Structure 1
């Protein structure tokens, strides 16, 4: 009977190095996709000599890509994300991340996809606050109102063109009903990378949304934080942009997606 293969022991030094590598990779985000060595040192609080050594090793292995004097996450990481989720339904991947986002901000987190000229809630993690906006999986909503709609239209010009063939219904006093105004709002969303709206679909309600992309860099859906405006003022929403974009980035990577403009992806 042959002996079982020996399992290499994990030393404390190995775990320490892995922790430092994790800290370096965690420094990158959707809002800060390209970092200099100085940016990484500031974000991780590691000695510059350590940052230089580990970043050079990570770049050499393809985990980071160099851009001039700066770095971004390497495409090799995206290749690893794809087999991690292959065979799992998209919502099985996204739902736990919605729960994480809900726990971070305290408000309901949803995922919307476009269906013709409407949007549909396909997954959600509901707030634990007693007072909440009514939302449920399967709810169908108009595609011209709200932050999720803004995001879905911003990265799908054909969908926007289709929507604008018909009059835009007024739902509240703040609903955009003019084609040019909606086009301008959509352009701003694409520039910003996210959307914040108040009272467009429901009076006294606010939302902020960001896009999630598939493997072809096409918009897959919109991840949204929503709740009553008295808890989600403009200032509060602005403060939640970073965790929202981080969630959108994690979802994109976990489903094997890529962002427009990345190497190998459409602009």
Structure 2
């Protein structure tokens, strides 16, 4: 097998091992020793050492004393692949698939202070819909997408409380203790659901979208009239929305295990 690798007859296998080594590095652990890389990949020590040395020689890894990190050469080569790509373009296929799988309008939100804004959507084909438009601005504490930001972004919590928790309907949560309890449940469940918290007759379900650094970059979710979306639909729809959040996060370069969560 080693002879085959040296002769180039198994390039896919070698590339797979290179991939294993490069994936050992994370935002939280950007520098690793050879022993740590070997342990992370599960490769034989001699094989790992040889491949690491090859990666250093070609600029994929840089060496600093006894540690290694992703090479600046690799970062430079990757730049053209990300140039011109933005959050909307990267997540549009996920948003459209979410609409098709649920039948409801799918939206992508970003946060600005105590508010969230719709930056992209895929409209439902139902004749009766909950109206969303790109550029629509809504508060964080009233609605599932806003609570996603509150659950995973401590700065969002600070901004929302500092701005004040206004009541929009009888179901709007304005008590900080109750909101804190809900946010803990949302983090545990991996999604947020809302019924008539901002508008009567409206419901929504959202999940976080994480970026490369592990912080919540956006919220993705669906919105529908309560005549079509009730609490009984949550067990069916929640896994679909959570999976959409996972796929969108993956397209942004996120790797599991580095989430940043809020503390209220």
State the superposition RMSD in angstroms. 3.1
TM-score w.r.t. structure 1 length?
A: 0.67
Matching of residue 91 in structure 1 with residue 88 in structure 2: yes
Quick check: 2:220–2:245 contact (8 Å CA) kept in 1?
yes
Does the CA-based 8 Å contact 1:98-1:124 persist in structure 2? yes
**In 2: Cα distance, 1:124 partner to 1:175 partner:** 24
Which aligned runs of 4 or more in structure 1 are off by greater than 4 angstroms? 58-61, 63-67, 81-86
Question: Distance in 2 between the 1:211 and 1:156 partners?
Answer: 10
The answer for unaligned runs of 5 or more in structure 2 is 1-15, 25-38, 41-74
User: What's 1:233 paired with?
Assistant: 230
Structure 2-normalised TM-score?
0.68
Offset at residue 182 of structure 1 (A): 1.1
Unmatched 5+ stretches in structure 1? 1-57, 68-78
1:177 matched residue in structure 2? 174
- Contact 1:85/1:256, CA 8 A, preserved across alignment: no
2: distance between equivalents of 1:165 and 1:148?
19
Once the two structures are superposed, the pairs formed by residues 127-206 of structure 1 within 5 Å of their partners are 127-206=124-203
Q: Are the structure 2 counterparts of residues 150 and 82 from structure 1 closer, same or farther at C-alpha, using a change threshold of 3 Å?
A: farther
Larger radius of gyration: 2
Partner of 1:108: 105
Deviations 1:153-175 (A, max 9, x none): 11111220221124311101100
Q: Which deviations, in whole Å up to 9, do the C-alpha atoms of 1:38-71 show, x marking residues without a partner?
A: xxxxxxxxxxxxxxxxxxxx7896399999xxxx
Residue 266 of structure 1 deviates from its aligned partner by 5.9
Distance 1:231 1:111, change over 3 A: same
CA distance in 2, matches of 1:266, 1:201: 27
